[in-house]
Structure 1
Amino acid sequence: MPRNKEFDYTEKLESARNLFWEKGYHATSMHDIVDAMKLNRSSIYDTYGNKHDLFLKCLSNYADFKEEQYSQALQAKNKGISALENIIRDVVEQTITDNKACLTVKTIFEIVPEDQEVRQFLLKSGKSLHAILEKAIVQAQQNGDLKSESSSPIIARYILSSFSSFWSHYNLTQNKKEVMEMVDFLIEQIKK
């Protein structure tokens, strides 16, 4: 008769996620994973699969977290430009508070060029974040808060791609004031 699992699936998954987030996929060994999750190898393989499967599950867990973050920021200020500004500021604040790049951004640079499965997963999960931003953009355009004639998909892509630039600048300078000035500039530009 099989034993019941005596650990919290999500808690252990988040331990692995944080390890991948800190060290990167390639630098993380199975030994590191065993230590971080405090599980034996067979439990990890039986429950989460191999390292790659585990990583995909971690990415999925992170994607759910980011979607929830964007949704909550949108709902906190559910009026067009206010909602859009809230999402942007919330994401940047969280990145600076965590003092680490978005796991998605880190993965794009480290793994996507060589791993089509991860690439496809990130493209799919990015669509939900893009849709949340688009919703706020469309509402802001309808309210007359955004004067730009650019389409909402282009503006949403621009915002999403700006997040990695903000982190890059902060990582180099450790200057939150400058990053927040860049955020203000981004918001000014999309309002035009």
Structure 2
Amino acid sequence: MPRNKEFDYTEKLEVVRNLFWEKGYHTTSMHDIVAVMKLNRSSIYDTYGNKHDLFLKCLSNYASFKENQYSKASQVKDRGIESLEYIIRDVVDQTLADNRACLIVKTIFEVAPSDQKVKQFILKNAAVLQAILERSILQARAEGDIRSESSSSVIARYILASFSSFWSHYILTQNKKEVTEMVDFLMEQIRK
């Protein structure tokens, strides 16, 4: 008869996700994983798979969190432009509060160039987030609050790409006011 798991699957996944987030995929060893999860190797392999499988599960867990964040933020305001601005500011505020780059953004630079499975996962996740942004953009355009002739998909992709720029500026300056001014500028450009 198989033994019941004596630990919370999601709780352990989030613990190791934070380890990957802090150290990066390549510098995190199985020894580090065992130590932080406080599980033996066989339990980790049986439950989560190898290091790569575990990392993909961590990315999936994080992606679900971000999708939920975007979805909830998109429903806070009635007007499309207010919804869009709320999403953007919520994501930036969360990143600054966490004081670290989005795990997906970090993974784009560290792992995605050499790992097709991770790259495909990130592209799929980006499409989900882009669709959420596009709904608010389309609504804002229909309400006359976006006059830009750029397509909603271009605007959404530009917003997603801007998040890593905001974070890189904050890393260098530690100046939240300047990041806020950059977000203000982004919103001005979207409205034009």
2:31 aligned residue: 31
1:156 aligns with 2:152: no
**What is the rounded CA distance, in whole Å, between the counterparts of 2:158 and 2:125 in structure 1?**
17
Q: TM-score, normalised by structure 2?
A: 0.99
Alignment RMSD, CA only? 0.5
- Which deviates further from its counterpart, 181-190 or 73-82? 73-82
2:101 aligned residue: 101
Q: What's the CA shift for 1:186?
A: 0.3
CA deviation profile, 1:39-67 (whole Å, cap 9, x unmatched): 11100000000000000000000000000
Matched-pair identity in %: 76
1:114 aligned residue: 114
Query: Aligned partner of 1:137: which letter?
Result: I
CA deviation profile, 1:53-101 (whole Å, cap 9, x unmatched): 0000000000000000001110111420000000000000000000000
**What is the rounded CA distance, in whole Å, between the counterparts of 1:105 and 1:76 in structure 2?**
25
1:183 aligns with 2:183: yes
User: Tell me, which stretches of 5 or more residues in structure 2 are unaligned?
Assistant: none
What secondary structure is seen at the aligned counterpart in 2 of 1:47?
Answer: helix
CA deviation profile, 1:118-138 (whole Å, cap 9, x unmatched): 000110111110000000000
**Number of equivalences:** 192
User: Tell me, which stretches of 5 or more residues in structure 1 are unaligned?
Assistant: none
**What is the rounded CA distance, in whole Å, between the counterparts of 1:169 and 1:72 in structure 2?**
27
1:66 aligns with 2:36: no
Q: What's the CA shift for 1:35?
A: 1.1
1:47 aligned residue: 47
Q: TM-score, normalised by structure 1?
A: 0.99
1:9 aligned residue: 9
**What is the rounded CA distance, in whole Å, between the counterparts of 2:53 and 2:62 in structure 1?**
14
CA deviation profile, 1:17-43 (whole Å, cap 9, x unmatched): 111011100010111111111111100
**What is the rounded CA distance, in whole Å, between the counterparts of 1:130 and 1:78 in structure 2?**
19
**What is the rounded CA distance, in whole Å, between the counterparts of 1:146 and 1:28 in structure 2?**
44
**What is the rounded CA distance, in whole Å, between the counterparts of 1:103 and 1:165 in structure 2?**
14
What secondary structure is seen at the aligned counterpart in 2 of 1:189?
Answer: helix
Q: What's the CA shift for 1:114?
A: 0.4
2:18 aligned residue: 18
